[in-house]
Amino acid sequence: MGDATALELTPAELSFYDGAARSQVYIAVQGTIYDVTSGASFYGPGGPYECFGGKECARALALMKIDVAECTSDLTGLTPKNLSTLQDWVRKFAAKYPVVGQLRKQ
């Protein structure tokens, strides 16, 4: 990555950016990490989407499920409609929140 300030975090490291362990709230979608701290009332502790904070949540977004069990990058078995929904979310996150890094494998 060209930006020296860009983060490369493992899923375990990302989990500390849930708004409880640190004040920042980060969410990864298809490996791209977004700083959603400005939306902490949604994604941080006590927010309606708090299960997404500090996690890769591509599958959950594609399925439109607020479920920590679906917070994964695994897109196996998703329909074209699910994948289209995911791309809509990617566009929304990219327009609203700054990208701070990339998720790397553990």
Local structure of 7: helix, strand or coil: strand
Q: How confident is the model at residue 105 (pLDDT cuts 50, 70, 90)?
A: confident
Classify residue 74: in a domain, yes or no.
yes
CATH number at residue 86: 3.10.120.10
Classify residue 40: in a domain, yes or no.
yes
Which pLDDT does position 21 carry in this prediction?
82
Which pLDDT does position 6 carry in this prediction?
86
Closest CA to 28 of 72, 68, 67, 65: 72
The pair of three-digit structure tokens given for residue 73, joined into one six-digit string: 């990058």
> pLDDT digit string (tens) for 56-92?
999 999 999 999 999 999 999 999 999 999 999 999 9
Does residue 3 surpass a pLDDT of 70? Answer: no
Q: What's the domain count of the chain?
A: 1
The mean of the pLDDT values for the chain is: 93
DSSP-derived letter for residue 25 is: B
Classify residue 1: in a domain, yes or no.
no
Which pLDDT does position 1 carry in this prediction?
43
